[in-house]
């Protein structure tokens, strides 16, 4: 078992002892479990898969970092959402809005902000549950 801490500055986090987690770093997927070597790496806008007592729970993270040391995994992210809580219609509207704004964006800063909004919407759509 490992101690998982999912932290964000804007909402209550999640702390639990879990069997393992799978995260998508910028270099690909990584399975983190008891005995994993120490690591710190940036996260992609994607899902974190949490395995506890034979069950899987998924959360979409919006970037951030994962660190693992001494069987403690800390995920620090701007925001995370459990996939069961994602509103796909809202995510689709956010995607369309970001695509339109990206076409009209003129400054580098605005382009970057809009790209991040698009990445968030795409991650929500990729992993949100269909209802």
Residue 123, token pair as written in the block? 């991650």
Structure confidence at residue 130 (pLDDT): 58
pLDDT band at 7 (very low <50, low <70, confident <90, very high): very high
Highest mean pLDDT pick, 12-16, 17-21, 25-29: 17-21
CB 48 within 8 A of CB 23: yes
**What span, in angstroms and rounded, lies between the C-alpha atoms of 128 and 131?**
9
Please, what are the domains in the chain?
A: 2-83 (2.60.15.10), 86-127 (1.20.5)
Q: Where are the alpha helices (DSSP H) in the chain?
A: 88-104, 108-127
pLDDT at 117 over 90: no
Whole-angstrom distance, CA of residue 92 vs CA of residue 73: 32
Query: Which position has the token pair 């270099």?
Result: 27
* Half-sphere CA count of 124, side-chain side, radius 13 A: 21
């Amino acid at each position: 078992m490992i101690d998982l801490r999912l932290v964000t500055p804007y909402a209550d986090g999640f702390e639990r002892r879990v069997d393992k987690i799978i995260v998508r770093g910028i270099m690909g997927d990584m399975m983190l479990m008891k005995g994993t070597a120490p690591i710190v790496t940036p996260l992609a806008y994607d899902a974190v898969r949490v395995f506890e007592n034979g069950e899987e729970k998924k959360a979409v993270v919006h970037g951030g970092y994962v660190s693992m040391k001494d069987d403690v995994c800390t995920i620090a992210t701007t925001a995370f959402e459990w996939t069961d809580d994602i509103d796909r219609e809202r995510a689709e509207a956010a995607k369309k809005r970001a695509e339109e704004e990206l076409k009209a964006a003129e400054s580098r800063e605005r382009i970057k902000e809009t790209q991040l909004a698009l990445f968030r919407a795409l991650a929500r759509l990729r992993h949100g549950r269909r209802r």
